[in-house]
Chain A
């Protein structure tokens, strides 16, 4: 088959790469995903569409591990995600082989972002339609990190971020409510952010927690329990707000 060498992603007269911007649109239509970094825990949460009855939910894991100490969640085209994740997993192992050390979070993020950028500057291909949230602990220093990449190939580190559907509202919520947390508090913060835009309930959210020991996917029951706690706290806060007002009358 003849090689395709015509570039698809080209500049517009006013300096835009429309294909990349359209890819970002695809991301905006994808599932909501949120990541929150704590002092000893990093939490990834993804919106789960209400499970179709006959589908085996275990085969649609939205939060995946790239290595023992790195996990990834994404928003956008899931098929593109599969390809990117496979390449990243190979790179994690390849790095272990060539320098006898596990990758750092920054390294693998740089690799994934580099890959996404390559597809905006190659012939015959379109950009990947997904933004990723990559979390992990540095294998030497033990420092937790959260990074985000997007279809243009840029990446940066975040204390907390959201991508996908309604990411702006989630990010606003996080900006207002973020503080340094650890353990259970970090998980609660992540779930609270997701609940801003997702229907309440354990079956609509998938949550995974990364600690120094590794990645742990939370069970539906666990998530339900935390959601219940959050609702109770919200109700208590509402009541506290109304109580002083009633005293005045």
Chain B
């Protein structure tokens, strides 16, 4: 399950509320964007090209392990030159589901759950407390949605729309995209306050 918000900020200025932070590398692999938007977008597209070339040359899809390693090696070679990329590569290959965290320091980690970005601590809190291995797809989607929502609630640099994608054996599908403001009121509806009867003005005869 992969989920992300859609806010881009330049310091205190919100430059966009509708950024696509989940990048579709190919029909069975997704990448997430955190850090520098341009760096993430460019290098994910570049990774998509490399994955396609691998398919053409080797007549089989590249594994998630291989794809994440290709990206990590590129980012490592630019280490220290100011790239800012914190991404997760999620996909499904012959060995099953695969999830890797890759960053511009050159780090690459395999894992079962990750949260990346400025709002990540808040998302981790919700994610860690609600996670168990045998969740259904709907439960997992809701957990992912809530994690993003809570991050946007507390972190000023996160907001916009919470998108949730599911990655399965036949590839990825987008499950939902909800505005976090609307999510807030659906999770915490406002009780209608009891207003005292207002006195009407007496008509002057």
On A, residues with C-beta under 8 Å from B are: 98-101, 104, 106-107, 110, 140
Contact = CB atoms under 8 A, between A and B. Distances in A.
22 contacts: A98-B66, A98-B69, A98-B70, A98-B73, A99-B62, A99-B63, A99-B66, A99-B69, A99-B70, A100-B63, A100-B65, A100-B66, A100-B69, A101-B63, A101-B65, A101-B66, A104-B58, A106-B58, A106-B59, A107-B58, A110-B57, A140-B94
Instruction: Describe A's contact surface by its main secondary structure.
Output: helix
- Most A CB contacts (10 A, CB to CB) among B57, B58, B70, B94 go to B58
Contacts of B62: 99
Interface string B54-76: 00011100110110011001000
Interface string B69-94: 11001000000000000000000001
Given A104-B58, A107-B58, A99 B94 contact: no
Given A99-B62, A99-B69, 8 more contacts: A98-B66, A98-B70, A98-B73, A99-B65, A99-B66, A100-B65, A101-B65, A106-B58
How many of chain B's residues touch chain A, expressed as a range?
10 to 19
A106 B63 CA distance: 17
Contacts of A110: 57
B75 to A, nearest CB: 14
A171 B66 CA distance: 39
Nearest to A140: B94
Nearest to A138: B60
A137 to B, nearest CB: 15
A193 to B, nearest CB: 30
A104 B57 CA distance: 12
Contacts of B69: 98-100
A100 B108 CA distance: 13
A191 B66 CA distance: 40
Closest 5 CB pairs of A and B: A99-B66, A100-B65, A100-B69, A99-B69, A98-B69
B156 to A, nearest CB: 39
B101 to A, nearest CB: 15
Contacts of A101: 63, 65-66
Nearest to B72: A98
Contacts of B70: 98-99
Contacts of B73: 98
Contacts of A106: 58-59
Nearest to B68: A100
Contacts of B65: 99-101
A101 B93 CA distance: 13
Contacts of B58: 104, 106-107
Nearest to B110: A100
Nearest to B66: A99
Contacts of B57: 110
Contacts of A99: 62-63, 65-66, 69-70
A228 to B, nearest CB: 43
B174 to A, nearest CB: 28
Interface in B163-204: none
A99 B57 CA distance: 14
Contacts of B94: 140
A185 B73 CA distance: 46
A151 to B, nearest CB: 23
Contacts of A98: 66, 69-70, 73
